[in-house]
Amino acid sequence: MRLRKKMAKKFSIIFIALWLTGCAPFTENNIIEELAPVTFLSLSKGDEGKIKISTILPPLSKEKKSVMTQEVSFLKEGLMDFNLNFYQEMKSGQMRMLIINEDLGKEGIMSVINVLLNDPDISLRIYLVIVKGNFEKYLENQLDKQENLDYSFYRMLKHYEEKNQGEISVVNLHEFKNLLYTPYSDPFLPVIKIENDAISYEGTALFQNDKLVEIITTFDDRIFQLLNNGHYLSVLPIPELEVVLGHVRSKTKVDINKSLSTMTYTVNIDSRIEEYRGEKQIFDPKNLEDLKKEIQSNLEKQTQELVKKMQELNVDPLQLGIHTLKPFSKPMDEKIWIELFKKMDIKIDYQLNLEPLTNSNAKS
């Protein structure tokens, strides 16, 4: 009995020591020369329900790089197969981006998101991006032409995230997870397009739960950035009116009536005219006021059409449903909100504070 107590005491001491020092009986390989830190993964549809996983190897090295692709049933299986086919061990702790093909996004990415969330080595700050086109082929064509291609792409996303200019949607894993699992919200992701060996920003992908249902582009995307993503645009061209607004800042207000049948969406805009190629003499106060009314009417029409599209798709990326929450009242079921949102009469009202086109270099 005494021997058992001594043995139990010894094992307790060993366990506490391991716990305090962060050690474990199974150690991982941390020799730098033997590791290949993955900077990004590209996912697309494979055959028979499988996933194609691609990346550049070696990622951080002056050695000749190549695109490696595996077709697997599970994301973790793909990483394991990379290890079996490369002389260095793959590590996901430095992963910065996950590129998801449009077709895979339409089928749903819940399982992929959950794998990332459950991996303690993967940062919640990694960027998620939807791609239209063959990203793997693009990588193969550009490897010899552009050094550190993956890092350049990452720096672009990081730049727009830090500047918060609303020019493009930038979403990380943490933000997507919150939008996916929080009531009264639907996720969205940026979309890049591959065409003729060129890469460009296409717009914003709207999700219903975890499935991609629509990609909004051009002016619709500009409106979305203004309403939801930073509430700022450095430039807003309106081709129909031959005018360009600059330094556009917005403040939004949502009012829903008691019967939950009507919503008034008010957008206050502060901006200035950067360029005008129309026929109005905008230095004349009356002509400027007429142009202002035309801009307001145009923005209201475009926004009305965008919100109507969201109603038809049963998605709420603007998180309008949170405005139904009241103190001391039970929250409405999200499914009930979506049904109400589909039928709701939504009125869009823009209030525009517009500075005229001036000569900023004029001497006082």
Tokens 């005494």 label which residue?
A: 2
Residue 121 is predicted with a pLDDT of 83
d(CA 18, CA 21): 5
Identify the helix (H) or strand (E) that includes residue 252.
Answer: strand 243-256
| Residue 219 pLDDT > 90 | yes
Strands 198-208, 211-217: pairing is antiparallel
114/96 Cα distance (integer angstroms):
17
List the structure tokens of 158: 């990081």
The pLDDT tens digits of the residues spanning 22-79 come to 444 444 545 444 445 678 889 999 888 889 988 887 655 566 777 888 888 887 776 6
Q: CA–CA separation, 142 vs 27, rounded Å?
A: 38
pTM of the model: 0.84
Q: Are 129 and 51 in contact (CB under 8 A)?
A: no
Exposed, middle or buried, 190 (CB in 10 Å: 0-12/13-18/19+)?
Answer: buried
- Please provide the average confidence, as pLDDT, over all residues in the chain: 83
Report pLDDT for 26.
44
Instruction: Give the tens place of pLDDT for each residue, 173-198.
Output: 999 999 999 889 999 999 999 987 78
Is the separation of the CB atoms in 276 and 282 below 8 Å?
yes
For residue 133, what pLDDT is reported?
92
Omega before 58 within 30 of 0, i.e. cis: yes
DSSP H or E segment with residue 99: strand 97-101
The structure tokens listed for 45 are: 């549809």
What are the structure tokens assigned to 77, written together? 């299986």
Give me the helices (H) in the chain, please: 2-21, 75-84, 102-107, 110-118, 135-142, 149-163, 173-181, 218-228, 285-313, 334-343
Task: Judge residue 204's burial from the number of C-beta atoms within 10 Å of its C-beta, 0-12 exposed, 13-18 middle, 19 or more buried.
Answer: buried
Most confident of 133-147, 228-242, 298-312, 330-344: 298-312
**Beta-carbon contacts of residue 286 (< 8 Å; ≥ 6 apart):** none
Query: What is the percent of the chain where pLDDT is above 70?
Result: 80
Give DSSP secondary structure letters for 294-336.
HHHHHHHHHHHHHHHHHHHHT--TT-GGGGG--TTSPPPPHHH
Instruction: For residue 46, give every residue at least 6 positions away whose Cβ sits within 8 Å of its Cβ, in sequence order, or none.
Output: 52, 71, 72
Strands 127-132 and 188-195: parallel
Residue 247: burial class (beta carbons within 10 Å; 0-12, 13-18, 19+): middle
Residue 229 or residue 309, greater confidence = 309
Report the SS3 class of residue 239: helix
Of residues 93 and 286, more confidently modeled: 286
